[in-house]
Chains A and B, each alone.
Chain A
Amino acid sequence: MTAHYDQTPVLQTKNLVKRYGSVTAIDHADFELYPGEILAVIGDNGAGKSSLIKALSGALIPDEGEILLDGKPVSFSSPMEARALGIETVYQNLAVSPALNIADNLYLGRELLKPGILGSVFRMLDKKEMERRAKEKMTELGLMTIQNISQAVESLSGGQRQGVAVARSALFGSKVVIMDEPTAALGVKESRRVLNLIKEVRDRGLPIILISHNMPHVFEVADRIHIHRLGKRAAIVTPQSHSMSDAVAIMTGAMDVEASEGEAA
């Protein structure tokens, strides 16, 4: 599937500013995520990339500027509000509960209740329906290889746990999925599976913001790469137009964007 750069960005920021005392973490940052794309966000430590991501996922309230979802200005004061608007985040520590099973984890915090009086009065969980839908989603994403849906998450490998967290975001995210370092703790084969999973989610129509320090992974899956430096966007490159070393050079300030573009052309 190809991204639609002629359409309205799904998620956009204009002139976003966040200051902590005398430190400016986000300095008039612009950001656009288009429908159907994987946008990688890279930046050196301290570049303000996590502040930007926190602002997008509702974990941080910006001081100035605006956030647009489907072209309409929005503001969230908590991750829950962002989530309610369809922005799902897969955290680096995954936010899964090891002792609970896969289905329980997929629906954690958003459980389905039985229809009728059992649900409305007795608040009874609809375990069957949750398991059915969980199985459906896991199968759809090609994750049903090993898992028994009522298996405790602690019995899964790191990559499979990541799979559970990604499946949860794909199940509930209607607009955007933000993934924070999804391959950081994984081995080679597991990373591969997760990267395929990310593409799978994109191909099903959900645009993805991928935060990663792993350049090979970024260059493999990203459609575009947002390079963050000194609190704002330094450049947007694509894996086709620039090499990894160019990206690192822009990220660290060793090269400015105009120079790199001249070189690429």
Chain B
Amino acid sequence: MKTYLIRLIVILVCSVGLHSTAMSREIVITTPGKQAIPLALTHVLPYDTKHLEVEKTVDDVLSADLDLSGLFELVDPAAFLDDARQIGVTSTQVNFSQWRLLGAQVLIKGAYRISGGQVELDLRLYDVISRRLLAGHNYRGQLSDLRRMAHSFADLIMKTLTGKGGAFNTRIAFVSDKSGHKELYLMESDGFDAKRITNHRSIVLNPDFSPLGREVIFTSYRQGNPDLFRKEIYTGREARISRQKGLNVSSRYRRDGRELALTLSRDGNAEIYLIGLDGQLHKRVTNAWGIDVDPSWSPIGDQVVFVSNRQGNPHLFIADLIDGHVRRLTYAGKYNATPAWSPDGEQIVFSRLENGSFNLFSITPDGKEERQLTFGTGNKEHPRWSPDGRFIVYSNDISGKKAIYVMRADGSGSRQISTLDADCSHPAWSSGW
């Protein structure tokens, strides 16, 4: 009995001691020393013949994409040591000590070879701290595909480091009057290589990509009435899918691509409807005396946010497609327009007219949290989300002409991406190439 008692006491005392020591050795880090990951981006190096254009293109695309992400701080190339001049497509070929000395935590290296008009590009992402390969890819294609290869690797970097892929290897559709008429254009996600894809010689408006990014729908006045058109990007084939009397505008694909929400005024008043891809009417969503426009689907597809002046000034409302209930979302401001629901369903971005100019705001679908994303003069309108939900593309006329801008979802890092010397507006971001 005594021995049991002694053992029990010893165990209890020890457990008390261990417990107290464990508790005393807990520390809390509340302040990160750096607010971006130091990344070293080296020039891609030739396996045999040097092509400066290849090196510059890959470097330009990767550095612009990674800078826009806001996750990285590029290490100054002027500080690079001799390992930057060594091909390092395997981790054994990399002198990680040099990169650690420069404070880099992540390293990008690459090499290329050109033969017969074909380019072979090896790109690698290394973790400098653990000295291991995080991601790598061997790309082969035409020289004209070089930018896409670099965009694709930027997406792979995002996927590797964050668990969610990027949206760099995508395209943005927009409307421009560069040709003298408002036509539809396509460009890369960084604004490069803008090309006109319609020739309606009238007014084209409100493009939206199909979920797979192979088709685009838009409104055109080509035949006098604002009708809805669908266009296959690769074949160029086009079809008018809705020609209801009056407006056929602001159409949006549902996430599964099987149904469209749009504004029709077939009964004299602008209301929100759901139609099939063949233009057949499925459902009338709203039925109020005011004008209802600019629908945007929730990610699940069970709700639609839209603009209505049914209670006076234009405000955002959300319609439940299952029970038909409509609730008001915004109360602040006197003119709220062009809402876009984020891919993760957490935010709705929209433009608001205040002090004579439009600025962008975001609001949670429950209406509790509202944030202003852009400030100052210049009208920022028609915001749309990137497919990964990290960025917002919009139009801005601060320089006199409307141009396409892109920024991070929190409003930081805004920059102009369109380069056409003409008005550019109504952007839409594709989900893929």
Q: Do A and B come from one complex?
A: no
